Amino acid sequence: MINRSDRASDFRRKEVIDISDGKRLGYITDVEIDLEKGVVLSVIIPGKRRFFGLLPPTDDIVIEWRRISKIGDDIILVNAGYEGAPQSMPPL
């Protein structure tokens, strides 16, 4: 799924799109890693800004690694499965 040459910083340049509804979720800002096992657990997309940045943003979107369907050159396709998806995704 991922080439050895891919790096965590490369994810920041790829837009995340939910294949269940075609919604653009945004860009990854962080990656959660299990250092003991050496595996990626999830990717994090910041919440939407509200009212020109004067109100706090909505909750971050945390997408479990198993929900990533495909990683392309420019986009990452995920199966979020429902609208909004704050904090964490429901089980598959």
Reported as a single tens digit per residue, the pLDDT across 16-71 is: 999 988 899 999 888 899 999 988 899 888 877 666 656 565 678 899 999 999 99
What's the CA angle centered on 16, arms 29 and 13, to 5 degrees?
55
- Provide the 10 A C-beta neighbour count for residue 22: 7
Q: CB within 8 A of 34, min separation 6: which ones?
A: 40, 41
CA distance 80 to 20: 7
| pLDDT at residue 83 tops 50 | no
DSSP one-letter code for 41: E
Band of residue 85 on the pLDDT scale cut at 50, 70, 90: very low
Please indicate, yes or no, whether the overall pTM of this predicted structure exceeds 0.75. Answer: no
Residue type, 47: G
